[in-house]
Amino acid sequence: MNIKNLIREVPNFPQAGVSYKDITPLLKDPAGLSAAVQAMLDPFVDIEVDLVVGIEARGFVFAVPIALELGCGFVPVRKPGKLPAATLSRDYALEYGATALEIHADAIALGQKVLVVDDVLATGGTLAAACQVLKELGAVVAGISVLAELSFLSGRDLLAGYKLESTIVY
């Protein structure tokens, strides 16, 4: 199955000059969704993982089934103000702006091994910020799995030193 054919490109969204990778056609296709989850999981089936960390919001879609397949729990990383208990926060830049992310301060125990999952690697700011806040919590980032990588934005450069796997590369 060609997963890439199920991703729609939307020009000038969310702003002029950005070519958005819309995964909703992939998500509504059961075989495509299953193939995408399996492809994101495969490089990590032989590593020890205690928790899968998903990045809001589309990363959640892939992180939860990956966590279930690995037999471990799921931890959300969210936009500010969405988590009800004490959090750690990290600001970061996007290819078209700036924002922040948060994680519960008690989400991960010292030394726990985590797999970080998101849908798209663009500039790397989101994943780098997530990895920084995970390290602050004492987690060991065992790997990063993304559905698609926008290689022309060089986001991988911010994540040097991590095992990073992309199912699709643009």
**What is the set of active-site residues?**
58, 95
CA atoms within 13 A on the CB side of 146: 27
DSSP-assigned letter for residue 23: -
Burial readout 13-35 (b: 16 or more C-beta within 10 A, e: otherwise): eeeeeeeebebeebbebeebbeb
Question: How many CA atoms within 13 Å lie on the side-chain side of 42?
Answer: 10
